[in-house]
Chain A
Amino acid sequence: MEGGYTGRYLAVDLAEQTWAVEETPEDLCNEFLGGRGFGVAMLRGHITKDPFSPDMPLIIATGPLVGTPSPTSGRFSVISRSPLTGTVFDCSVGGRFGTRLKKVGFDFVVFTGTSPDWVRVDITREGVVFNPAHELAGLSTGEVMKHLDKDLSYGLIGPAGERFVSFASIVFDGHYLAGRGGLGAVMGAKHLKLITVRGDGAVRVYSEEKLKKARENVMRLLRATPAIFGEFGLSNFGTAALVDLIHARRMEPTMNFRQSFFPDSGKYSGYRMKTVYDTKKTGCAGCPILCKKQGSGGEVIPEFETASHFGALNENNDLSSIVEANHLCNDYGLDTISTASTIACYSEIQGRSFSPEELLSHIKLIGEREGIGDALAEGSLRYAGSQGVPELSMTVKGLELPAYDPRGAYGMALAYATSNRGACHLRAYPISYEILRKPVAVNRFSFEGKARMVKISEDMNAVIDSLTACKFVFFGASLEEYAEVLNAVTGTSHDVQSLLAIGERIWDIEREMNRMNGFTWKDDNLPERFFREAGYEDEKVVIPPIDRDAFLDALRRYYRIRGYEESTE
């Protein structure tokens, strides 16, 4: 490679407290690009191991664009096997950590083994230093961060990860999360409390001139995209801009998905949070959009999914408790979506809704694994199963659904089902065309043509996660422009079709990994509720239950398009 990659990666053995610098294979770059692709490739041969086994790798991988002036190139991926879902699992994360890792000279890091005691790993240009971290154990992420150098980048777990909460997160640089799937618990199982990286080297670029031109092509499209830079776009309101829209489309998961409309969501809308907290923009290294919002008092403003799930899903209209819930989840190192959804599931089983105070106290119980929190820490599927009502867990493959009700967007319904990591909105993000009308609007209440749309989108997003770019950019730009960016950085000659072929390769390997762990077509399904109960109805809008036959028909088409042999019999 002429640029983009550092050509080296780091293999860290936590049991022996040793490390080695290895060469990044050229084939790996050609066939898997980076990020999620690297992780998936490196997990082959390990995927059937227990997520908490010392031999299970935990991988942090950057992409070829990271550390270069490419637009939105500050992202990276964390990959392992999820203790929540049992599937292969990757999280795309923002912040500065990926950029620093690249600049210290590594394309990715693989952690294996279990440290005898809690350990802190410092990555520098010279290599790895293992420091005892016994005194950090039990501390919240906020407390640990207080003691860290401001110019360090870091990833760490909170008490939840230490206690194997199956949806524990890893917190990077204050508030960038490897949120979903419990990778924080995988880190906890390795007795790895904290990773820091300090680096300011340069990443080589094949052609600065071509990169400048390709970058401008992307930027022009972003400026012309209202969803990004428009007066109501992400740059202005953050992802919370979606609260009003999803509310207006009556697909706002409410009361554990018993309804799809919550009258009070205006109390925590993007506009409301911007006004109440007087927010300013912040975001990942090298990002022009800066979709993260921070209050003037330093409050981390919740993302759309977090606001909606601690709001509508739990029938809560109290803004300050939503912001506090987000803060508590970050402090304990908990995935906000799974935490909120598991509490909503518990609430339905209990037959009553919780006050804002109860909501917050349940988060603490989960983070501490105390009282009922110990059972809830296993996730809603295991908890509801233990109570004999697994159908009240709003999950696919054990992962709790985010804040787009599938009854309000059928491509999203299909994509939740086929996702390789469980109910995730970002594997295909059909919301882009079903709700945001980008690049074109499609009928959200029909499965017509959706199987192929979802397949193409899944491949495309596997490419984006491997590049490692930001999904929001693709409301405006397309892989055409990003192929040019990639070629300018690395000297390759990719086009849209060659990139999509890589995406398909990654997807199919993930699918095969899940098959090896016993997943079948029966796991490509939605909770029963969505096929039986309507979400909302008034004289103008009806959100009916999904027709199961139409859903299954779309699923069969999807398998045929993918070339999978599943029969759905």
Chain B
Amino acid sequence: MKNLLNKYLRKLSLQGLARPEDIAFLGIDDQVFIAGGLLDKKPLLREPLLEVTERMNINSLLLAIPTEPMRSIIDELLHWGRTGNGLLLPRDTETRTFLHDIPVVTGLKPDDIVEALSHRKSVIVESMGGIVTYGTISPEQAFVFMSSTCFSLFVKYFHDHLKYLKETKGRDEYAEARMRRFRMIGRMVNPPDRRGIDYSPLESEDVHKAIVAAGKLLVEKGLVDSYFGNISAFRDGIIYISETASSLEELEDAIDEVPMDGSSSVGITASSELPAHRAVYGKGRHRFILHGHPRFTVIGSMLCERDCDDPDLCYRGCPEEREICGVPIVSGEVGAGPYGIVNTVPRALESTDAVIVYGHGIFTAGEDSFRMPFMKMMEIERYAMEEYFRQVDAFHQKR
């Protein structure tokens, strides 16, 4: 248990979500193990956290105070981003399928935490700007819920800020303060760094090695939070694809080999987007596919000018034809259901090498290796970010 806690403690820190000294990670086996330094700094938090572990049938509990810019983002959202009943309601696909919404409690009171976590996967503790999540089978769940919560809040903040500027033209009484804090937050966000990348592993003849390398690079460049996204390659009638619930930076033992003709059911553990990948290969144009959730691409995909009757349904049936950087945006739900992206993504990829899914992420595809799809995803994200800040700056200048 200690090893597992330390593994995810490291990941939280590597992915820039929280520093070890700002984390309390409790693992419950026959005794409670604690990783992270937060309880050394704040021993008074120990009792309430232990009480929560006793009252819930869980195997891990995670309290983290995120690093910047998440810390300021949470601050801002608590300030002006809540719904009428006090919670945060991001609109991206990860939230929709996974988190539903994110409740907020004032302090670390066990009653409140237990109540919130009986219904939702994460909760924000207002008094310390922290987030609490849990796992029932593995600490990995707590890590994934944490990572997913931060992603959703990040997307919500930047999306809502630009929407706010568009609606108010930046002329209301709060604009000054909000923009000041936005500039501070914006300075802490960087586009994916394209210097010093060794592309040769992406071109490896060994399909496994190429997939493993592509997974690591996607995570390293922040194009996906590790648990989401998927990767595949097609060779000699076999689809090599990352497994469901795999971490893209550790795909060494998590690649399924699925015969295109359906003659083996090993694909039962493959990524839930296997049907979309399979349909793309069925069209014959591509042999390598990357799917990531780059943040500004996701934010951009949701910034639609059109006034829809029910914006809640845009994610699965947007009528508007839009694009970012020349890349078309389509809609669709996860999986192969009637609204599934299996119906939209393969069709779009018939005539292009990249397609963005509304509120969700991006698929890039190539013929020879992962090199072009990777470069393409990175460039689109860089462009989406530049474009985002260009639009914000336009309002700043207008004022």
Contact = CB atoms under 8 A, between A and B. Distances in A.
A231 B267 contact: yes
A375 interface: no
B28 A266 contact: no
B144 A440 contact: yes
Interface stretch (A109-117, A137-145, A494-502): A494-502
Contacts of A233: 268
16 contacts: A223-B337, A224-B272, A231-B336, A241-B265, A248-B257, A437-B269, A438-B245, A440-B137, A440-B141, A441-B140, A448-B1, A448-B3, A449-B29, A496-B57, A556-B30, A560-B31
A556 B31 CA distance: 12
B85 interface: no
Contact of B263 (A271, A449, A556): A271
A224 B273 CA distance: 10
Contacts of A242: 265, 268
B138 A248 contact: no
A453 B275 contact: no
Given A223-B335, A449-B59, A435 B269 contact: yes
Interface of A: 223-224, 226-227, 230-233, 237, 241-245, 248, 266, 269-271, 433, 435-442, 448-449, 451-453, 456, 459, 495-497, 500, 556-558, 560-561
Given A244-B264, A271-B263, A230 B336 contact: yes
Interface residues of B, number: 46
Given A226-B270, A556-B30, 6 more contacts: A232-B262, A244-B264, A439-B141, A449-B139, A452-B59, A557-B29
B97 interface: yes
Contacts of A451: 29-30
Contacts of A497: 55-57, 118
B267 A232 contact: yes
The 10 nearest A-B residue pairs measured at CB: A232-B265, A557-B30, A560-B30, A241-B265, A437-B245, A232-B268, A232-B267, A244-B264, A244-B265, A244-B266
Contacts of A456: 57, 59, 136-137
Contacts of A500: 57
A561 to B, nearest CB: 5
Q: Is the interface of A mostly helix, strand, loop or mixed?
A: helix
Nearest to B5: A449
A439 B141 CA distance: 9
A459 B139 CA distance: 20
Contacts of B138: 433, 440, 442, 449, 453
B173 to A, nearest CB: 43
B274 interface: yes
B30 A452 contact: yes
Given A227-B268, A230-B274, A244-B265, A453 B59 contact: yes
Given A226-B244, A437-B243, A439-B141, A271 B264 contact: yes
A436 B55 CA distance: 29
B325 interface: no
Contacts of B56: 497
B97 A226 contact: no
A524 to B, nearest CB: 15
B246 interface: yes
B294 interface: no
B272 A439 contact: no
Contacts of A243: 265
Nearest to B259: A271
Nearest to A228: B268
A441 B30 contact: no
A255 B272 CA distance: 35
A439 B97 CA distance: 14
Contacts of A230: 267-268, 272, 274-275, 336
A374 to B, nearest CB: 40
B170 interface: no
A165 B269 CA distance: 38
B1 A248 contact: no
A226 B254 CA distance: 16
Contacts of B262: 231-232, 271
Contacts of A232: 258, 262, 265-268, 270
Contacts of B57: 456, 459, 496-497, 500
Nearest to B135: A440
A134 B352 CA distance: 75
A437 B97 contact: no
A226 B272 contact: yes
Contacts of A448: 1, 3-4
Contacts of B254: 441
